[in-house]
Amino acid sequence: MRNKVIEQLMEHMSIAHIFKYIWNYPPRDVLSSLLRRIFKNTTWDYSMEKVVNSKKHMNVQYLIDRWERYWRVIENRNRDCSRLLFNFEGKTVLELGCGPLFGWGPMALNLGANAYYYHDPFLNRATVESEEIREKYFFPFWRELEANFGSNGMDFSVFYQAMIKRCSEIDFHKQNENVDLILSNSVLEHIPRHDVAHISSKLFSILKPGGHFLHCVDFGSHGFGGEGFGKLYHANSDEELHNLNLLRMSDIESILVNSGFELAHATVYHSVAIDRSKVNKSWGHYSDEALGAQVVLFVGSKPRH
């Protein structure tokens, strides 16, 4: 009965609003209702057919290249050694919105992480653990990891079994200060704006003192009205469009700091020159930098006691 109530509520929610309920209901109650809704009403379909036929999801070089590229940008812009803090050896890792195939989890475990937690209500374990995905994705991914980072002494079968065992969904109601690293890629911009601060506080509570985070946020249009920012700035800044909360770089910075995090830097990866004459007046309180920052990499930590 409880699951049916949750499912009925979600029928009238945007994808982004689902995140609110993940924090307010036990995961097992939410998951079955989520999956029914997802496959019927959205394109966030992580079924076997969709995943196997996705060039993006099945590209075993994609996540490695993205990880390396992000750190090249951060190091080039800031001239620091932040990447050394994200050494996976012996760490417990959480990835928010990992996608259909454990995201950076296999890489983290291959590089020595003790455990990898994920939070993605769309992930389907039956798909992930299927023989087809094992052979078509995880085996070539393992070979790519070996080629890029060297052998860790595990053959594929040992690596695969360890990965399946050590990749698990996080229970936010039980975890407390036991995660070393938090990662997310293009997730924070999809969470309803009135929930972002609450979720940031939740993340703060599960991160160990001295733990670190990397959030990549895409403030662009995500296809709404074209590339870049498209028609996004034609809308009122208080609106939420196409599962985008329309928060800007300065908003995310404030939310992270107000949650208690120390922000080392917000690195602008991609930016676009803004023509103020074509921007809705409701955006007037933002600086040109905040409006023009399209993709930003936020790196920081939780202070030690």
The pLDDT tens digits for 236-255 are 999 888 789 999 999 999 99
User: Residue 182 — very low, low, confident or very high, per pLDDT cuts 50/70/90?
Assistant: very high
Model pLDDT, residue 60 = 96
Task: Quick: pLDDT tens for 65-94.
Answer: 999 999 999 999 999 889 999 999 999 999
The DSSP string of the chain is -HHHHHHHHHTTS-TTTHHHHHHHS-HHHHHHHHHHHHHHH-S---SHHHHHT-TTTT-TTHHHHHHHHHHHHHHHHH-S-GGGGG--TT-EEEEES--TT-TTHHHHHHTT-SEEEEE-TT--HHHHTSHHHIIIIIHHHHHHHHHHH---S--HHHHHHHHHHHEEE--TTT--S-EEEEEEES-GGGS-HHHHHHHHHHHHHHEEEEEEEEEEEE-S-TBTTBSTTTTGGGS-TT--BTTB----HHHHHHHHHHTT-EEEEEEEEEE----GGGS-GGGTTS-HHHHHEEEEEEEEEPPP-
Instruction: Map out the domains of the chain with their CATH numbers.
Output: 2-44 (no CATH), 62-169 (no CATH), 179-301 (3.40.50.150)
Span 260-286, average pLDDT: 97
Model pLDDT, residue 22 = 53
* 107 or 25: which leads in pLDDT: 107
Model pLDDT, residue 40 = 37
Span 176-200, average pLDDT: 94
Span 209-232, average pLDDT: 93
